[in-house]
Amino acid sequence: MSKPTSLGKTVTVSGDITADEDIHLEGNFRASKIDAGNHTIVVGQTANVEAELFAGTILVIGTVNGNLNGKILVEMRDTASVSGDIYAPKIALPARAKFKGRLTYT
């Protein structure tokens, strides 16, 4: 498995991101969409993302304002904060995570 593309906590991105590999986000991102195809998107603890996310698997540790579209799994950790709808066949939402939106199992 190759190392994911990592965008650090001092990075600020405005614009769409499309990748055919795993993406690890730390920093500030504002886009209409971030798409990793069938790969994984990790929203790190210091990340603040305003975008709709598309990936095979999405792991949220930080903050997302936007819908999450997972082909396999969307997982949130205790430190996660999501404001948006989640669409995936499997959804992991721990009790301590902050979530405002709808869950749709696809």
Residue, of 86 and 13, whose pLDDT is higher: 86
pLDDT tens sequence across 26-61: 989 999 999 999 999 999 999 999 999 999 999 999
Residue, of 24 and 4, whose pLDDT is higher: 24
pLDDT tens sequence across 67-88: 999 999 999 999 999 999 999 9
pTM of the model: 0.93
Taken in order 48, 50, 55, 57, is the CA torsion positive or negative? positive
Cβ(65)–Cβ(49) under 8 Å?
yes
What pLDDT is attached to residue 40?
A: 98
